[in-house]
Amino acid sequence: MAKETKDVGFIFDLDGVLVDTAVLHYQAWRRLANSLGFDFSEKQNEELKGVGRIDSLNKILSWGGKTMTEEEKINAATQKNEWYNELIRHLTTKDALPGAIDFLTAARNRRIGIALGSASKNALPVLDRLGITDYFDAIVDGRSLTHNKPHPEVFLKGSSAMHLEPSRCAVFEDAEVGIEAALKGGMVAIGIGSKDTLPAAQLHYDTLKQAEIDQVISLIRQNNP
Ligand code: B16
Ligand code: MG
């Protein structure tokens, strides 16, 4: 990475920002819940966005009024992950969310640092299926994290891997816990999705299709008076 020309960085969440895998996580978790004799709604699924695998399982079990030993939880999470992996195998570049690939291209052309900041341990195969791995100067995902969002670890590791101060980075997130993590880390927080569900974000876009690089950069500049 040509450090001297990259003085700001964009850190992208994966699920819900670059690709809509939330619906696939939902299908796989629902299959698990159904196998345990209960169901949960799409609205409840919203609460799982950006939440790590075991924390998601704990929430789902509480919705179904079920308990499991730690060993049973690991087995259940592994089963869900196998079902999820069957689903992501069918992803193609067409499954990138609207505007995502164009925005990555525009950021790369402007020589902005590009990092991934995802809680998912399946981020690499998803990026590969979408054909966008090469856009990233740094990839931070669930495999290397000790703390889940809203802890800022994922984004701090992303800024550090780009050799940028956190204040020189903007985070693009679809989950409330992710916006909280970005703000805790001292970064600009850009909400992707409904303004109502992400009240703490400093700027909102419905999708990356509406996102404007200059608006984001001007917020980063304000963050560095
Ligand atoms: P996995 P993100 C998160 O990804 C998802 O939003 C969340 O629903 C999922 O449970 C979590 O990754 C862990 O995913 O089971 O694949 O490791 O939004 O942080 O990119
Ligand atoms: Mg997300």
Establish whether residue 53 lines the binding site of ligand 1, counting it when its CB lies within 6 angstroms of any ligand atom.
yes
| pLDDT of 214 strictly over 90 | yes
Q: Are residues 74 and 122 in the same domain?
A: no
Q: Count the Cβ atoms, other than its own, within 10 Å of residue 147.
A: 12
Residue 4 forms part of a structural domain? no
Which atom of ligand 1 lies nearest, measured to the CA of 80?
15
Residues in the chain: 225
| pLDDT of 3 strictly over 80 | no
**Mean pLDDT value of segment 22-45:** 96
Q: Are residues 196 and 99 in the same domain?
A: yes
- Cα 187 to ligand 2 centre (Å): 17
- Cα 141 to ligand 2 centre (Å): 12
Alpha helices (runs of H) in the chain, residue ranges in sequence order: 22-35, 42-46, 53-64, 70-88, 100-109, 123-130, 153-161, 176-184, 213-223
Known active-site residue 13: yes
For the whole prediction, is pTM greater than 0.75?
Answer: yes
| pLDDT of 1 strictly over 80 | no
Q: Are residues 58 and 99 in the same domain?
A: no
Q: Are residues 13 and 29 in the same domain?
A: no
Q: How confident is the model at residue 58 (pLDDT cuts 50, 70, 90)?
A: very high
Give the number of whichever ligand sits closest to the CA of residue 17.
Answer: 2
pLDDT of 110: 96
Residue 26 forms part of a structural domain? yes
Q: Are residues 169 and 188 in the same domain?
A: yes
Give the number of whichever ligand sits closest to the CA of residue 125.
Answer: 1
pLDDT of 222: 94
pLDDT, one tens digit per residue, over 107-144 is 999 999 999 999 999 999 999 999 999 999 999 999 99
Q: Are residues 138 and 215 in the same domain?
A: yes
- Cα 77 to ligand 2 centre (Å): 19
Query: What value does the mean pLDDT of the chain take?
Result: 95
Q: Angle 123-130/70-88 helices, nearest 10 degrees?
A: 10
Phi-psi region of 148 (alpha: psi -120 to 50; beta: other; left: phi over 0): beta
Catalytic residue among 15, 137, 141, 174: 15
pLDDT of 221: 95
Q: Are residues 16 and 26 in the same domain?
A: no
Residue 192 forms part of a structural domain? yes
CB-based contact 171:190 (threshold 8 Å): yes
| pLDDT of 2 strictly over 70 | no
Domain end (from 69, 88, 107): 88
Of all protein residues, the one whose alpha carbon is nearest to atom 6 of ligand 1 is: 50
Q: Are residues 155 and 100 in the same domain?
A: yes
Q: Does residue 57 sit in helix, strand or coil?
A: helix
Known active-site residue 15: yes
What is the best residue among 25, 55, 80 to mutate for testing ligand 1's pocket, by most ligand atoms within 8 Å of CB?
A: 25
pLDDT of 225: 82
Number of domains, the chain? 2
Q: Count the Cβ atoms, other than its own, within 10 Å of residue 176.
A: 20
Catalytic residue among 13, 137, 141, 174: 13
Domain end (from 54, 72, 88): 88
Residue 83 maps to which CATH number?
1.10.150.240
Residue 179 maps to which CATH number?
3.40.50.1000
Residue 61 forms part of a structural domain? yes
pLDDT of 12: 98
Q: Which domain holds residue 148?
A: 9-20+93-222
Q: Are residues 61 and 99 in the same domain?
A: no
Establish whether residue 49 lines the binding site of ligand 1, counting it when its CB lies within 6 angstroms of any ligand atom.
yes
Q: Are residues 101 and 43 in the same domain?
A: no
Domain end (from 88, 108, 126): 88
| pLDDT of 31 strictly over 50 | yes
- Cα 215 to ligand 2 centre (Å): 22
| pLDDT of 4 strictly over 50 | no
Q: Are residues 137 and 175 in the same domain?
A: yes
